[in-house]
Amino acid sequence: MNPSPLSRRDFFSLAGSAALAVPAARLLAADGERPALKPTSTGSTQPFVPASGPSGYKPVITPNGATLPWKIVDGVKVFHLIPEPVTHEFAPGLVAECWGYNGRVHGPTIEAIEGDRVRIYVTNRLAAPTTVHWHGVLLPSGMDGVGGVSQKAIQPGETFKYEFTLRQHGTLMYHSHHDEMTQMQLGMMGLFIIHPKQPTQPPPDRDYAIMLSEWKIEVGARRPDPNEMTDFNVFTMNGRSFPGTQALVAKKGDRVRIRLGNLSTMSHHAIHLHGYYFKVVATDGGEIPVAGQWPETTVHMPTGSTRTIEFVADEPGDWVMHCHMLHHVMTQMGHNFGNLIGIDETGLNQAIRPLVPGYMTMGATGMGDMGDMGMAVPPNSLPMVGGPGQYDYITMGGMFTILKVREELPADGSEPEWYKSPPGTLAEPAPEADLKRDGIAFAAATAKLEARGKKPLELCDPAAPAGNASPLLRQPTARVKIALQ
Ligand SMILES: [Cu+2]
């Protein structure tokens, strides 16, 4: 560990400020790392270009990611994987010192074909020993990459050689299997896609691959905390947190495959896609026979697994795909926040400001406004929630992305603009005439409620045809409850 570059006097002057967390974390980040070897990964949002030449398969797209280049030497497909420290941006505003591969968090996607002989050199540029485990790949035991069990650990500076023949196809993964908690929680993982040698059906029109993971990054810190057991606060798709995630794109009618992998330290994820149902067609254990597939809108992603889903993108629009565990679509500041929902904050700010200058009560109506308030967030942290959307601020962030399906896509391969809903297909404030026609008295009732000083009142317009109101609304107690909400 490097000696502290901070003098005692510096320390005490910092200790009185909120800035303390940042230099303290930097100090830890400097431990044993060689800055010259630290590249930066920001997650590409450029149109995807396969890394290598003719491949014999339709390459997968790793949004925000890359594919590991390879070359053929005497009939063997040769890769070079480099574990190393990486300065990584999770989304604009949050950068941390991680560990990854080949300058990226997570590592680049490895792609090959069933039957390939692959030779993967691993050069360890970390200050710590490591190994690489090929998760789900069928191979000889000595190539399995488990430190201490199947091999000696790869010491800093050493290059090991893994070589095996691919006997299967599917969506698999790779990750460190030495000091797993530290190394994986700092980002050391990637996807390993093996295409079938003899496909039973044509490849999908769009083939996406996404790795899910979770992190603990204290607000303002530069180093993810690998010792965290339960309270994760940054949730990512391919190492990016919305609004840092690149959208998935499809042309109307495309057959879309999304390969999902989960190597989160502790969490399973419930990945939900709007607009479609899909079928889970494969796991990292292989293809699921057609008779065993069933339609879903949410796929459960146990940690240490992959699931491959397929659907036909036949409905244009902007469709979100996100984890349905709702703390996984929040970021750092949504956690450990007092529950202030429904409090009367009148006078509270004024009472506290003499003690805490600039104090502002937040959260009395929920967290939805937290990203949109235009408030400065602490240095190197993300607002609690998402980013600007077409109509409003998007109140989800984290493990969240958007599938953009269009009749026509931009010719240059760029991401389409927001979807413009055709007339009559967009939810909007209800016109008075429609409310009247349909006997809906809510709008008028709300206005009356305020005028009467929040006293309960009849919600159902007595003049409206009774047949249109639900039986619940016609019960007096139910009316009162709704009026008070
Ligand atoms: Cu989740």
User: Tens digits of per-residue pLDDT, 207-251?
Assistant: 999 999 999 999 888 999 999 988 899 999 999 999 999 999 999
Asked if pLDDT for residue 185 goes beyond 90, the answer is: yes
Confidence band, pLDDT 50/70/90 cuts, at residue 307: very high
Q: 325 alpha carbon to ligand 1 midpoint, in Å?
A: 5
Q: 301 alpha carbon to ligand 1 midpoint, in Å?
A: 8
User: What pairing do the DSSP bridges indicate for beta strands 298-301 and 269-273?
Assistant: antiparallel
| Nearest Cα to Cα of residue 41 among 107, 89, 95 | 89
Q: 300 alpha carbon to ligand 1 midpoint, in Å?
A: 9
- Which ranges in the chain are annotated with CATH 2.60.40.420? 25-319
Asked if pLDDT for residue 443 goes beyond 80, the answer is: no
User: What pairing do the DSSP bridges indicate for beta strands 189-195 and 110-113?
Assistant: parallel
Which ranges of 367-470 would DSSP assign to H, the alpha helix? 432-438, 442-451
Q: 335 alpha carbon to ligand 1 midpoint, in Å?
A: 15
Between CA 226 and CA 256 the distance in angstroms is 35
CA 328 → CA 214, 239, 283, distances in Å?
9, 14, 23
DSSP string, 460-473: S-TTS-GGGS-TTT
Between CA 202 and CA 182 the distance in angstroms is 41
Residue whose entry in the numeric block shows the structure tokens 């339960």? 230
Asked if pLDDT for residue 27 goes beyond 60, the answer is: no
Q: 277 alpha carbon to ligand 1 midpoint, in Å?
A: 19
Asked if pLDDT for residue 34 goes beyond 50, the answer is: no
Joined tokens for residue 456: 């309960």
Asked if pLDDT for residue 168 goes beyond 90, the answer is: yes
Q: 258 alpha carbon to ligand 1 midpoint, in Å?
A: 16
Residue whose entry in the numeric block shows the structure tokens 């994760």? 232
Q: 329 alpha carbon to ligand 1 midpoint, in Å?
A: 8
Specify the CATH number of the domain 25-319: 2.60.40.420
